[in-house]
Amino acid sequence: MSSEKYSDNSILDHIGFFGPIIVIIISIIKLWNQPPYLFGYLFFEFINNVTNSVLKVLIHQERPAGGRSIINETYTGANTYGMPSSHTQTVAFSTVFLYLTKASPTYLILESFILALTFYQRWKYKRHTVEQLTAGVVVGTIIAYIGFYMTKQIIYTA
């Protein structure tokens, strides 16, 4: 994998690359006044990240050759593997969890747009295959559903 900067990067590429951070910030802001859901979101985001690392080590699938970088990103440990994509897994998790909590079509559209940009950026820069990106979306979505319903269950039984 080349660590050279790709000279054709755009603002949309940067939004895609920083998509996980952007949607985490949006989600924290939107859940701030709902502490039980904010705590559930943060806890399951942690679970989401741990799950991603475990799956990468278990699946052991290489990233595509010839990857380019926006910020000279390097990989160590589990992140040297590409399956599933942590970028798309994180964005999908945040998008689904926030939608289930807030039921806001506006934020669903906004975060889905960021997810699409993230998916495309990671593919365009050859950091992941379509399969690795799709797996990230699926895993993040599943963890969001589980996390939301477990959080909701704890709130209503507490």
pLDDT in tens, 35-71: 999 999 999 999 999 999 999 999 888 888 887 887 7
> Where is pLDDT greater, at 76 or 86?
86
pTM: 0.87
107 neighbors 31 (Cβ within 8 angstroms): no
The per-residue pLDDT for 142 is: 98
Task: Identify the pLDDT of residue 158.
Answer: 64
Query: Which single residue is written with the structure tokens 């390097």?
Result: 74
At residue 112, what is the residue type?
A: S
pLDDT tops 90 at residue 113: yes
**Is position 17 within any domain?**
yes
For residue 64, tell me if it sits in a domain. Answer: yes
User: What proportions of the chain, in percent to the nearest 5, are helix, strand and coil?
Assistant: 70, 5, 25
Residue 4 lies in a domain: no
Whether pLDDT at 22 is above 80: yes
Provide the residue range defining the domain that includes 101.
11-157
Q: What is the per-residue pLDDT for 8?
A: 63
Question: Region 136-142: what's the mean pLDDT?
Answer: 98
Distance CA 73, CA 87 (A): 13
Q: Token pair of 137, please? A: 């979306």
Separation between Cα atoms, residue 58 and residue 60, nearest integer Å: 6
Average pLDDT over residues 95-111: 94
Residue 136: which H helix or E strand, with range? helix 130-157
Angle between helices 130-157 and 35-59 (to 10 degrees): 140
- What does the alpha-carbon distance between residue 51 and residue 10 come to, in Å, rounded to a whole number? 31
Residue 152 lies in a domain: yes
Q: How many domains does the chain have?
A: 1
Q: How confident is the model at residue 6 (pLDDT cuts 50, 70, 90)?
A: very low
**Residue 1, in any domain of the structure:** no
Question: Based on C-alpha coordinates, what's the Rg of the chain?
Answer: 16
Please choose, from the candidates 42, 37, 74, the residue with its C-alpha nearest in 3D space to the C-alpha of residue 158: 37
Cβ neighbours of residue 30 under 8 Å, at least 6 residues apart?
A: 98, 101, 102, 104, 107
